[in-house]
Amino acid sequence: MATQSPFSFLNGLLERVVSGPQLPSWLVHEVQQRTVLFLNHVLMQEKAAMERLVRQKGRVARVQWRSYTMALVITPAGLLDLAEAGAVPDLQLEVTDTSPLALAQAALRGDKPAIRIEGDVQLAADINWLVDNVQWDIEEDLARVIGDAPAHTVSQVARKAAQTLRQFVGARAARGTAAADKGDSLSGDIGGRNQP
């Protein structure tokens, strides 16, 4: 007898969490504010990114996934801020995959999510450039708190763990695709061995 994939259980759990009760508006606003602070922190580490965004000052990009939306306006400094309520977006980005597990798996593989884009082509190109070229320097931020040598060690361990996780998810996805192509069901434990 085949066992059910742990991913289907996890997907069901994530689906229930995401589809759960509506979050209070103050909490949504606070999460959005924290997201903007984080994005600006990352942007400030890359001068070319800020220079690129300065050319788009005042433009509004709206990102949507399921019922969650966030509208960001580009500031004259080349950073981001939450757009005023009701601001008309120059660019709309909608993440089309509604499964939280599928999005997490794609992120772990290093893939971009499928996105439907409407609006200003140049703004879309600049945002795509940011996604492709700007990365958070976790090691630098850790070094400010715990010192250079420990930060380097923690970063190496985290990179190795992320690489291992990506390989695991990629192998499971490949096996799932192969099983679907054969018309078989995916079964097995996390290690990939079949259970009796």
Q: What is the pTM of this model?
A: 0.61
> How far, in Å, are 43, 137, 152, 155 from residue 141 at the CA level?
13, 7, 11, 11
Question: pLDDT-based confidence at 102, cuts 50/70/90?
Answer: confident
Which pLDDT belongs to residue 189? 39
User: What angle do helix axes 47-54 and 121-133 make, rounded to 10 degrees?
Assistant: 170
> How far, in Å, are 17, 86, 94, 112, 113 from residue 119 at the CA level?
32, 17, 12, 19, 18
- Check: CB of residue 62 under 8 Å from CB of residue 32: no
One-letter amino acid at 123 equals L
With a pLDDT cut of 70, the percent of the chain lying above it is 60
Query: pLDDT for 24-76, tens place per residue?
Result: 888 888 999 999 999 999 899 889 999 999 999 999 999 998 878 999 999 99
Residues in a beta bridge with 73: 60, 81
